[in-house]
Chain A
């Protein structure tokens, strides 16, 4: 059963090829949609079969399936081979499962689009690349998938290439695509260098070999500069792909793409690739306390940075985008304190509720004829009851209301940030959790409650068709119940011995890393009372956020928020303009590079110096060739003479 894994990426690839090559000839949108969706659906089924097989016959070690080996030289093994273990199959389930729902949703969402087939081809290609990323058995293939999803992200952000899009130095959707792509390049550079270092250090790029070698010589490698360099560079890659500081700036602009794309790529799957990579190489991170600290601090800082911005944004997708950045920050904070399971757990629940939020937002935008400003919405629960209820469930989940999925995963992160990290991390994350509850309910109130602030005579919002609401309902169920996979010990101990199913599922993978961290770190404080207390506090924080949002935004005139905004104008403006990070980057990085490139590097260095060298070399080479050609006299006697000279020389060297 496990060897069927090749089908998992293969089917979406076939889907991509079919739609990409024949899409134009297939006139019927529905046919294209069904091909695209069923490719991902079948792939999900195979993944699920493998998953159940693993449940009944637990794997003692990772199962490697080599599909095709290009070549092998030294320790470098360039092959397409997949690694089935608890982590990869979990990610594959999320990617194909959520991906399938979003494909179904897109059939209705993209209806009538002039490039309908192109959209589905890209989506299938994305799923293929993402599966390569998570299923790969080595860094190289993961990198290939990593670049592939980056490409798909670029193609889909600029999918409506002739539409305008507002942003700092961005006019068209294509500019946003460029921005995402270029910012990611910086991270990819880190990933590449990290791979070189890994190869030099471990003489292999295969996960199994690297992990084995690292755990064998963990004492020797612990805290060394090499490991710290490798992990920090890998993490640089993660900050790009997962939109963490300092590379977080691209994700909000990526909202230029169609909403299903935002749901699939920029919320549920691709942006969690960074979390995957850290979890995959958890042993390397465990060996470098310095890198772990960096990961935790960056995660917390990003969570705070994005959560605060999210409070004041008025574009429904932008709010969700900043929320995504913030939640990704939570995940990295968890990884940084060594709670790998908690990080992966949050990836999963986040995929459910954030996917749902985006799809709900898409339904709203559609219903209001492409309106995205939440200040021009209101009272939509009257028109779109299903969308409203599912959106409400997702909002409860992300805010951390007990027994919804987000509650469990976020609470686990908060608890670990306290017990394995320190109280400052916990405090900041709790504040972020408060903000999260606040901005999400602000969104909910502005969109679904109050009175209609759009022109009711021209705009008639309506509920979406079933093909869009059914995915919403399934995701809502998952957002509500998905958390029970990871019930924390103090809450679940009454029901079962190991209530945290996910923890026992992933345990074999993170065992070694956790032991290394435990041995190195100070005694963690594990008090049951403390854990209860923290759970209560985080629930209280969430409810406080909700109450505040309700107080502020159930008032139709938003008196209080407006008053606050004018009192704290500088702060408000800083938040509204995202701490001016884009402008700072433009001023400090983009402009200097651009200007020096244009004025010096291009005109002087490139055109005079480099071209001079290149053309000069070429000229000299050609001259040399012309000169040597003259020795090709064409006369046999001369050739014989040259040969004779050669013979004399060779014999001379051999004899003397």
Chain B
């Protein structure tokens, strides 16, 4: 086998197995089979990705030099480095979701095999995003991720909330995709190529057509901001996250957001190039940086402020996940090494802590959206000491309190913004963190210091306990040994 195909293995495995999952379903109709198969497929992808992650830069360059296939020689697909790292993250998110979802969807009498293949398809899309080195691949990735998402959002077809979420997501998503695609077309018009690296070179040499370029950058910003749920394109997110089945929301809010941010980073770094010297684009690039900074500030403020007034825990998490996109955008604004390290660290940490929090909500849920208000959680530690402790860990980490992983993510991102002379953005971030403290810690207070009012909350944990244990362990371990991630991912971007 050609060497280059070894590096494509993660993508090959995931795409083949997503299709195979559908076929299996058609032939055998066995729920457990599809569940086990998708776990197996994700594990295989994960191992393949881990293998490519270990490859040195020299080895990758050597393969690129003698590559025969167009995919690599024409720079359609990036591999190794951050792509491999994100492959691993996406597969982990998929695994954690599937394990937590199995008892959940079964309990709600909605276990259909499509669930597993939809997850596989969307992970395939996410991986394409992180591997994309061409606008075309990026677009395919985004769509391959989004379309299964629309279906997953409406997976509880008997619940009107779920169906509503699905429709909303679909309409607005289609709207945003239009702009994204239009932006890509503009960029192609400005530079005559779809290769992201080449576009960047042409722009920095000042050979692009200015008006198309500016429009292209603006529209791309819009499309990506929508996918990342950033202000003012965030309004779908709280509705969709709170309407969708909770485990699905967990998947959207973690893996989906991570994929959108990766796409954002690639575009911002390679195409917009804030520090570009070319006279023709310098102004636009700097304005774009300011716009992203403003989007970031507004996103975290609005996300946290609205989360503050929520009475429902799931909605609180939905809004707070909007705020976290704001923190992540800080790293893009800073666009220095520390910022990119911060993004990678924060995404990794965020994935585990947000996933854990959503899954805890899911184990208490009954009949869709019931039993999820703050009041239902009062005095929870008496009946569910372990779940309360885990929830507290996730809340403290989300609030950014050491020694949990969330602290270091924020620390690196804030530091990066200061180093990039965006002190005001850091101040906004600190203020919004303080606001977020209120409701994260508030939930802990509710669980530990309020008397039980509504009678015992019943939980069905089942297999979700594996997801909870792994996410909690990750949140603690990455907080105590942040160098595990930082040393690995430094210089990825």
Q: Which residues of A contact B (CB under 8 A)?
A: 69-71, 73, 618, 621-622, 624-626, 628-629, 631-632, 634, 636, 639-640, 642-643, 645-647, 650-651, 653-655
Instruction: Return the chain B residue nearest A647 by Cβ.
Output: B222
Q: How far is the CA of A17 from the CA of B39 in the complex (A)?
A: 41
Q: A632-B235, A646-B233, A654-B287 are in contact. Are A622 and B308 (CB under 8 A)?
A: yes
Structural contact, A71 and B482, CB atoms closer than 8 A: yes
What is the minimal beta-carbon distance from B414 to any residue of chain A, in angstroms?
Answer: 11
What is the minimal beta-carbon distance from A513 to any residue of chain B, in angstroms?
Answer: 35
One of B4-12, B57-65, B151-159, B212-220 at the interface: B212-220
Structural contact, B305 and A624, CB atoms closer than 8 A: yes
Residues of B within 8 A of A645 (CB): 232
Determine whether B172 belongs to the interface, using a CB cutoff of 8 Å to chain A. yes
Task: List 8 A-B pairs, minimum CB-CB distance, nearest first.
Answer: A646-B232, A625-B309, A625-B305, A625-B308, A639-B235, A654-B218, A651-B218, A636-B171
Structural contact, B233 and A629, CB atoms closer than 8 A: no
Structural contact, A626 and B172, CB atoms closer than 8 A: no
Structural contact, A654 and B291, CB atoms closer than 8 A: yes
Determine whether B483 belongs to the interface, using a CB cutoff of 8 Å to chain A. yes
Structural contact, A625 and B291, CB atoms closer than 8 A: no
0/1 interface trace, chain B 216-231, chain A, CB 8 Å (1 if under): 0111011001100001
Determine whether B260 belongs to the interface, using a CB cutoff of 8 Å to chain A. no
Instruction: Return the chain B residue nearest A652 by Cβ.
Output: B218
Structural contact, B215 and A71, CB atoms closer than 8 A: no
Determine whether B236 belongs to the interface, using a CB cutoff of 8 Å to chain A. yes
Structural contact, B214 and A621, CB atoms closer than 8 A: no
Instruction: Return the chain B residue nearest A69 by Cβ.
Output: B483
Structural contact, B168 and A651, CB atoms closer than 8 A: no
- B174-220 contacts to A (CB < 8 Å): 175-176, 179, 214-215, 217-219
Structural contact, B222 and A654, CB atoms closer than 8 A: no
Residues of B within 8 A of A643 (CB): 172, 175-176, 222, 226, 232-233, 235
Structural contact, B172 and A653, CB atoms closer than 8 A: no
Q: A629-B309, A654-B284 are in contact. Are A639 and B236 (CB under 8 A)?
A: yes
9 inter-chain pairs at a CB distance below 8 angstroms, sorted by A residue, are: A70-B482, A625-B306, A628-B306, A631-B235, A632-B235, A636-B171, A643-B226, A653-B290, A655-B215
Determine whether B331 belongs to the interface, using a CB cutoff of 8 Å to chain A. no
Structural contact, B483 and A621, CB atoms closer than 8 A: no
Residues of B within 8 A of A626 (CB): 309
Q: A646-B222, A653-B287, A654-B288 are in contact. Are A640 and B172 (CB under 8 A)?
A: yes
0/1 interface trace, chain B 369-408, chain A, CB 8 Å (1 if under): 0000000000000000000000000000000000000001
Determine whether B302 belongs to the interface, using a CB cutoff of 8 Å to chain A. yes
Q: How far is the CA of A655 from the CA of B288 in the complex (A)?
A: 10
0/1 interface trace, chain B 251-291, chain A, CB 8 Å (1 if under): 00000000000000000000000000000000010011011
Instruction: Return the chain B residue nearest A639 by Cβ.
Output: B235
Partner of B215, one of A631, A640, A646, A651: A651
Q: How far is the CA of A591 from the CA of B2 in the complex (A)?
A: 83
Residues of A within 8 A of B218 (CB): 647, 650-651, 654-655
Instruction: Return the chain A residue nearest B288 by Cβ.
Output: A654
Determine whether B80 belongs to the interface, using a CB cutoff of 8 Å to chain A. no
Q: Which residues of B contact A (CB under 8 A)?
A: 167-168, 171-172, 175-176, 179, 214-215, 217-219, 221-222, 225-226, 231-233, 235-236, 238-239, 284, 287-288, 290-291, 302, 305-309, 408, 411, 415, 435, 438, 480, 482-483, 486
Structural contact, B215 and A628, CB atoms closer than 8 A: no
Instruction: Return the chain A residue nearest B179 by Cβ.
Output: A647
Q: A643-B232, A645-B232, A646-B232 are in contact. Are A654 and B217 (CB under 8 A)?
A: yes
Residues of A within 8 A of B179 (CB): 647
Residues of B within 8 A of A621 (CB): 305, 308, 435, 438
Q: How far is the CA of A645 from the CA of B231 in the complex (A)?
A: 11
Structural contact, B172 and A636, CB atoms closer than 8 A: yes
How many contacts between A and B, using CB within 8 angstroms? 87
Partner of B306, one of A71, A73, A629: A629
Instruction: Return the chain A residue nearest B239 by Cβ.
Output: A634
Residues of B within 8 A of A628 (CB): 302, 305-306
Partner of A622, one of B167, B236, B284, B309: B309
Q: How far is the CA of A610 from the CA of B225 in the complex (A)?
A: 39
Residues of A within 8 A of B231 (CB): 646
Residues of A within 8 A of B438 (CB): 618, 621
Residues of B within 8 A of A639 (CB): 168, 172, 235-236
Structural contact, A653 and B291, CB atoms closer than 8 A: yes
Residues of B within 8 A of A618 (CB): 438
Partner of B222, one of A622, A642, A650: A650
Structural contact, B214 and A654, CB atoms closer than 8 A: yes
6 additional contacts (CB under 8 A) given A636-B168, A654-B214, A654-B215: A621-B305, A640-B172, A650-B218, A653-B291, A654-B291, A655-B215
Residues of B within 8 A of A634 (CB): 239
Q: How far is the CA of A86 from the CA of B149 in the complex (A)?
A: 65
Instruction: Return the chain B residue nearest A627 by Cβ.
Output: B305
Structural contact, B408 and A71, CB atoms closer than 8 A: yes
What is the minimal beta-carbon distance from B299 to any residue of chain A, in angstroms?
Answer: 12
Partner of A632, one of B221, B226, B239: B239
Residues of A within 8 A of B167 (CB): 636
What is the minimal beta-carbon distance from B150 to any residue of chain A, in angstroms?
Answer: 13
What is the minimal beta-carbon distance from B304 to any residue of chain A, in angstroms?
Answer: 8
What is the minimal beta-carbon distance from A120 to any residue of chain B, in angstroms?
Answer: 28
What is the minimal beta-carbon distance from A140 to any residue of chain B, in angstroms?
Answer: 14
Residues of B within 8 A of A629 (CB): 306, 309
Q: How far is the CA of A655 from the CA of B235 in the complex (A)?
A: 26
Residues of B within 8 A of A625 (CB): 305-309
Query: Most B CB atoms within 10 A — which of A636, A640, A642?
Result: A636
Instruction: Return the chain B residue nearest A633 by Cβ.
Output: B235
Instruction: Return the chain A residue nearest B480 by Cβ.
Output: A70
What is the minimal beta-carbon distance from A255 to any residue of chain B, in angstroms?
Answer: 38
Residues of A within 8 A of B171 (CB): 636, 640
Residues of B within 8 A of A622 (CB): 308-309
What is the minimal beta-carbon distance from A573 to any residue of chain B, in angstroms?
Answer: 53
What is the minimal beta-carbon distance from B9 to any residue of chain A, in angstroms?
Answer: 34
What is the minimal beta-carbon distance from A629 to any residue of chain B, in angstroms?
Answer: 5
Structural contact, B214 and A655, CB atoms closer than 8 A: yes
Residues of A within 8 A of B411 (CB): 71, 73
Q: A629-B309, A654-B284 are in contact. Are A71 and B483 (CB under 8 A)?
A: yes
Residues of A within 8 A of B308 (CB): 621-622, 625
Residues of A within 8 A of B307 (CB): 625
What is the minimal beta-carbon distance from A80 to any residue of chain B, in angstroms?
Answer: 12
Structural contact, B235 and A642, CB atoms closer than 8 A: yes
Q: How far is the CA of A650 from the CA of B214 in the complex (A)?
A: 11
Q: How far is the CA of A647 from the CA of B176 in the complex (A)?
A: 10
Residues of B within 8 A of A71 (CB): 408, 411, 482-483, 486
Q: How far is the CA of A628 from the CA of B300 in the complex (A)?
A: 13
Q: How far is the CA of A624 from the CA of B303 in the complex (A)?
A: 12
Structural contact, B232 and A642, CB atoms closer than 8 A: yes
Q: A631-B235, A632-B239, A654-B291 are in contact. Are A640 and B305 (CB under 8 A)?
A: no
Residues of A within 8 A of B215 (CB): 651, 654-655
Q: How far is the CA of A631 from the CA of B219 in the complex (A)?
A: 24
Q: A71-B483, A653-B287 are in contact. Are A632 and B238 (CB under 8 A)?
A: yes
What is the minimal beta-carbon distance from B227 to any residue of chain A, in angstroms?
Answer: 13
